[in-house]
Amino acid sequence: MLTKRIIPCLDIKNGRTVKGTNFVDLRDAGDPVELAAIYAAQGADELVFLDITATNEKRKTLAELVDRIAQRINIPFTVGGGISSVEDVRLLLDHGADKISINTSAFKNPNLIDQLAAEFGSQCVVLAIDTKQHDDGEWYVYLNGGRVATETRCLDWAIEGVKRGAGEILLTSMDHDGTKSGFAKEITGIVSTHVPVPIIASGGGGEPKHFAEILNGIADAALAASVFHFGEISIPDLKKYLSEQNIPMRLNS
């Protein structure tokens, strides 16, 4: 049986992890590779690396990091952040990334999704969508890390993105992100039932029960960052708990 996935997300700047961690046994807490190796050993099902570097050196630094991750890690990983061309993606895939995620650049140039799917296959194209609910009750797409609002509905964009060739949707609710009050069940459920590809829910996971709620018939995978980095939730304990809630999990890594 296909299991649900637990995905830690690491924010990267200039090749280093941005947020601190509580892992005492890390030789170098700022090294994404060290942290990734720990998560892989703990049973994380996948990893996401989100690069927030803004400098011109970005592409080279990121490609070097991806190469070091691929050398060390034996589970799949996705790389995102500022990817805007077929060449950007080729560089990252050539260095060992399994998937890439695109967000603002795909919204501004939807053809990019078609190009990437045709060139590399849908399986490596993750469409990341940041969304927020407005007073009219509708969920809208936000760009540039949530700083820029659009008038496009989240569901419409998800459907279009999948039609163009996205193989997965990484859906972040800005209303829930950082709150630790649970994932956005409503919009995640709506998107999940309207698109045929897997949905990764992101934003709001603060307790094991939140993961159970979103993975039980709504999302295919759940992503979180700080609750894992600061040891508030341990991945082995979380997966054991979810398994006890009859959510299919890969328990022995």
Partner 1 sequence: MKLVMIKYNAGNTRSLQYALRRLGVEPLITDNAEEILSADKIIFPGVGEASSAMKYLKSKQLDQVIIQVKQPFLGICLGMQLMCTHSEENDTPCLGIFDEAVKLFKSNYSSIKIPQIGWNTIGHLKSNLFNGVAENSHCYFVHSYYAHLGDHTIATTDYCSPYSAALHRDNFYGVQFHPEKSALVGEKIIENFLKEDLICR
Interior angle at CA 149, CA 112 and CA 200, nearest 5: 60
Nearer to partner 1 by C-beta: 26 or 117? 117
List 167, 203, 205, 208, residue binding partner 1 (CB under 8 A): 167
- Enumerate helices (H) and strands (E) in the chain, giving the number of each: 10, 11
Q: Is 198 in the site for partner 1 (CB under 8 A)?
A: yes
**Is 11 considered catalytic here?**
yes
Amino acid (1-letter code) at residue 136: D
Binding residues among 168-187 for partner 1 as defined by CB under 8 A: 168
Q: Is 201 in the site for partner 1 (CB under 8 A)?
A: no
Half-sphere exposure of 217 (CA within 13 A, CB side): 2
Least CB distance to partner 1 at residue 131 (A): 20
Nearer to partner 1 by C-beta: 22 or 71? 71
- Candidates 194, 190, 207; CA nearest to 161 is 194
Q: Annotated catalytic residue: which of 45, 51, 98, 130?
A: 130
Q: Is 246 in the site for partner 1 (CB under 8 A)?
A: no
- Candidates 78, 120, 80; CA nearest to 99 is 78
**Is 94 considered catalytic here?**
no
Write each residue from 67 to 86 as x if it is in contact with partner 1 (CB under 8 A), else as -, in one continuous string: x--xx--xxx----------
Six-digit token string for 10? 């690491």
List 51, 88, 213, 220, residue binding partner 1 (CB under 8 A): 220
**Per-residue CA distances from 116 to 41, 57, 88, 97, 141 (Å):** 31, 23, 10, 14, 21
Long-range contacts of 20-28 (CB under 8 A, 24+ apart): 20/229, 20/230, 21/229, 21/230, 21/231, 22/229, 22/230, 22/231, 23/229, 23/231
Amino acid (1-letter code) at residue 97: A
Least CB distance to partner 1 at residue 150 (A): 26
Are 36 and 75 spatial neighbours (Cβ–Cβ below 8 Å)? no
Q: Is 60 in the site for partner 1 (CB under 8 A)?
A: no
Least CB distance to partner 1 at residue 115 (A): 14
Q: Is 3 in the site for partner 1 (CB under 8 A)?
A: yes
Q: Is 24 in the site for partner 1 (CB under 8 A)?
A: no
Binding residues among 132-151 for partner 1 as defined by CB under 8 A: none
Binding residues among 76-135 for partner 1 as defined by CB under 8 A: 76, 93-96, 98, 120-124
Least CB distance to partner 1 at residue 253 (A): 5
Six-digit token string for 193? 């039932």
Binding site for partner 1 (CB under 8 A): 1-5, 40, 45, 67, 70-71, 74-76, 93-96, 98, 120-124, 167-168, 192-194, 196-199, 217, 220-221, 250, 252-253
Catalytic residues: 11, 130
